[in-house]
Chains A and B, each alone.
Chain A
């Protein structure tokens, strides 16, 4: 099993550009989530999904969209990138829900200039 995979590993955007961060898992987990990690900070929850077709907002959802058309994929879209969105983004999945052990991807380092 590859576990949780994320692409790209690195990305540089200009202010106002849009892009999609990809996340996929091959463990048949119902729950998937996106977090951002800023320097000296812990992770903060952006959006999460408890199954295909179901998404919900986390702590810091503004400026981001998600969709969940399949169990495997959970892309994160930046609609109009801003310098404040410079961060490292982690995707995670869990078999039973957000309360359980989460499996993290390797992260995408995004810089917005």
Chain B
């Protein structure tokens, strides 16, 4: 069955960096676009970034553009989110999620991980 398992969250000081990982299993990872979505405590969902299935494109929310970088390593079935220059308002649970259709873009998200909490605080 499809599984997405995030890791790498924790407490980090403002201005520092953190890298999140999302280990995928149960499907052909290289065939699916992969996303990061975050949720600040008690708040709604905020889409963060996408890496297309073939790695040809990536897009970011304005709030993280220039600070976060999404990448994927198909040999390890793993998605990453490199987060630099972290700010207090980046505090959130970060979910990885999969596009619902393979070999395409522009589809909703059908499988989600359980999330990993990032807390930015001094």
Q: Do the two chains belong together in a single complex?
A: no
Q: What is the interface of chain A, defined by CB distance below 8 A to chain B? A: none
- B interface list, Cβ under 8 A from A: none
